[in-house]
A and B are shown apart, each in its own frame.
Chain A
């Protein structure tokens, strides 16, 4: 994948700058390329929505940034954290101890299933004491409690519940406690990994509102991983669409939703369900095997507008006039017709037509 052709309009320097991040899992069949060369930026107070099908590498991407991948995973690339504590260091090159010290005060993670994320033997107060004492040694007890209660109050958890155990709370309350537990350390950057998937819709709306308020109150940058496109439209400034370990399209959330460019984004948006939906749309085929991903564009076997060249040559990422970046030959040749040479002769013929001919020949 080629690098960014043109810098985006930037209002502030990004808090987190990811370039060519790769996270591969070792398995018996060979490496699984869960995240395979991903680049994006997150600016202060910005919310980036990360969407895509299950298994496209969204969660792995979030964990890769925080250095929380399992021992069998290899992480490579450049992840610059430009917050005060991050000091522009490349997170993938830090020692276990160094990244551990950044997790909490600089990098936060909110999880998908809040029910099991709190230690059942520890009171809520003990969770806060542990988090605060780990990163602020010698913080007086009174101060710890004051800060913990402040964070909990912000999430609507009353002071009287401070000494309770996790099992005494509902799922929605536990997720709010988890968020308070992440926020109490005031990290510059938070990954929220499908924070509402396990919760009912009313609680979901509440949590999303809390997350959307974060940037106003704390200037916190957020990567919101979700497969719910409605949440992205509601809560995100920008959106990045992932497919098979790649980001295929990213840009301003409204622009992308109003006028999706990449065929995968178009198909994804067509697949959403609304009250006006009459027949369910789905994308034929299934996500590719990440041990042996398809050659060329990884989406070409399922792409309705694939060209012959898409099956062999990987598409470059191009920036469109709207500022949206897309990784698709359709847009690439539009933006820069000279790129068409790379597709080879006859490379722009529709792939579907060629397939039909070859089938007919055999018959």
Chain B
């Protein structure tokens, strides 16, 4: 506790504890995903062949696919597929879920990152201004904007944005076919690596509207969280104490006010990532964005529960990992978090 080496030790201990605590969390999550898939009605075979085949043949097909195996057996297979990071093979088109993640994950990542960038670029400065100039015009306007933005669902804002800024038909124009070598599976990076700057520009153009639609979902929360936390931290006793030492007002606000206001905001950021992933599914569908979310909807329509189960599992794991990373960042910023 009294020297630096021990302090970094306590940070290490915090990280290890946090990772250990994630294990039961992941297990519970896997059980939930598995059970949800099994209680949902329908299966791929009856969805595609029901009505065409008689009951005996359907049962035979189900047996061949292993869908009539006991639940514990199915759960064990599921666990194995997660442990090997394979996440199963889709029933409808025999793809490995891992391949879906690798091929379409880049697009979803680009979209959520774009949304996050939009939310941060708009949300952080507006939130800070609103908190700093409380009850002035900037504050009132931003409060109104944030309430509207987080009350409006993606399926409302996205078509509206498309009507306003996109094609008049309300349909998103598809991406042009790109001829760049696949290296990272993240289209924009591949194009940049190949030096195809026209393609980068085209992708960026296509990225703006979906990112804004998705970002609007969380920007309101950003603004309000940052605003209220800044107001609270500016009333802090340490703020007056810093002023009493003659610290410059802009340092008082930036160094003492803003930093303390950001700690709770980072925690909320972790929760917002889950919100973004959920929103991404809808946004990808609306904008015809080639991400995992769109794949997920296709597989849901085909009742391909191996595929759905695999993709949902990956989404859940991503949220777990991100919330863990957020906790690490918080521990780095706020020494009181490391116990």
Interface residue ranges, A against B (CB under 8 Å): 66, 68, 96, 100-105, 108-109, 111, 113, 116-121, 130-131, 134-135, 160-161, 163-165, 167-168, 178, 181-182, 185
Give A160 to B246 CA distance when docked, in angstroms.
27
Give A33 to B333 CA distance when docked, in angstroms.
43
In the complex, the answer to whether B336 meets A167 with C-beta atoms within 8 Å is yes
* CB-based nearest B residue for A163: B4
List 30 A–B pairs whose Cβ atoms lie within 8 Å, in order of A's numbering. Answer: A68-B244, A102-B246, A103-B243, A103-B244, A103-B246, A104-B246, A105-B246, A109-B241, A111-B237, A111-B240, A111-B241, A116-B236, A116-B238, A118-B238, A119-B238, A119-B242, A119-B260, A120-B335, A121-B263, A121-B333, A121-B334, A130-B255, A131-B246, A134-B251, A135-B246, A163-B4, A164-B1, A165-B336, A167-B336, A182-B245
Interface residue range, chain B: 20 to 34
The distance from the CB of B301 to the nearest CB of chain A, in whole angstroms, is 49
Residue picked from B240, B251, B256, B259, most chain A C-beta under 10 Å: B240
**Which residues on B sit within 8 Å (CB–CB) of A104?**
244-247
**Which residues on A sit within 8 Å (CB–CB) of B246?**
100-105, 131, 134-135, 185
The distance from the CB of B233 to the nearest CB of chain A, in whole angstroms, is 10
* CB-based nearest A residue for B262: A121
In the complex, the answer to whether A164 meets B2 with C-beta atoms within 8 Å is yes
Q: Does B77 count as interface, using CB distance less than 8 angstroms?
A: no
Give A113 to B240 CA distance when docked, in angstroms.
12
User: Which 10 A-B residue pairings sit nearest by Cβ, starting from the closest?
Assistant: A104-B246, A103-B246, A116-B237, A109-B244, A117-B241, A165-B335, A119-B238, A104-B245, A131-B245, A117-B237
In the complex, the answer to whether A100 meets B263 with C-beta atoms within 8 Å is no
* CB-based nearest A residue for B3: A160
**Which residues on A sit within 8 Å (CB–CB) of B248?**
100, 134
In the complex, the answer to whether B260 meets A130 with C-beta atoms within 8 Å is no
Give A190 to B249 CA distance when docked, in angstroms.
21
In the complex, the answer to whether A96 meets B263 with C-beta atoms within 8 Å is no
Within 8 A of A (CB), among B297-339: 333-336
Q: A160-B3, A164-B2 are in contact. Are A120 and B260 (CB under 8 A)?
A: yes
**Which residues on B sit within 8 Å (CB–CB) of A105?**
246
In the complex, the answer to whether B336 meets A120 with C-beta atoms within 8 Å is yes
Give A117 to B243 CA distance when docked, in angstroms.
11
In the complex, the answer to whether B3 meets A121 with C-beta atoms within 8 Å is no
Number of A-B contacts (CB under 8 A): 86
Give A83 to B3 CA distance when docked, in angstroms.
40
**Which residues on B sit within 8 Å (CB–CB) of A134?**
245-248, 251
* CB-based nearest A residue for B260: A121
The distance from the CB of A100 to the nearest CB of chain B, in whole angstroms, is 5
The distance from the CB of B2 to the nearest CB of chain A, in whole angstroms, is 5
The distance from the CB of B8 to the nearest CB of chain A, in whole angstroms, is 11
**Which residues on A sit within 8 Å (CB–CB) of B240?**
68, 111, 117
Give A101 to B242 CA distance when docked, in angstroms.
12
Interface string of B245-270 (1 = CB under 8 A from A): 11111010001100110010000000
* CB-based nearest A residue for B252: A100
Q: A96-B249, A109-B244 are in contact. Are A120 and B334 (CB under 8 A)?
A: yes
Residue picked from A119, A134, A165, A185, most chain B C-beta under 10 Å: A119
Task: Pick from A167, A168, A181: contact of B245, CB below 8 A.
Answer: A181
Give A134 to B246 CA distance when docked, in angstroms.
7
The distance from the CB of B94 to the nearest CB of chain A, in whole angstroms, is 53
Give A224 to B246 CA distance when docked, in angstroms.
20
Interface string of B264-292 (1 = CB under 8 A from A): 00000000000000000000000000000
In the complex, the answer to whether A167 meets B335 with C-beta atoms within 8 Å is yes
* CB-based nearest B residue for A102: B246
Residue picked from B1, B243, B249, B251, most chain A C-beta under 10 Å: B243
The distance from the CB of A83 to the nearest CB of chain B, in whole angstroms, is 14
Give A120 to B237 CA distance when docked, in angstroms.
11
In the complex, the answer to whether B241 meets A178 with C-beta atoms within 8 Å is yes
Give A6 to B32 CA distance when docked, in angstroms.
86
**Which residues on B sit within 8 Å (CB–CB) of A168?**
1-2
The distance from the CB of B10 to the nearest CB of chain A, in whole angstroms, is 11
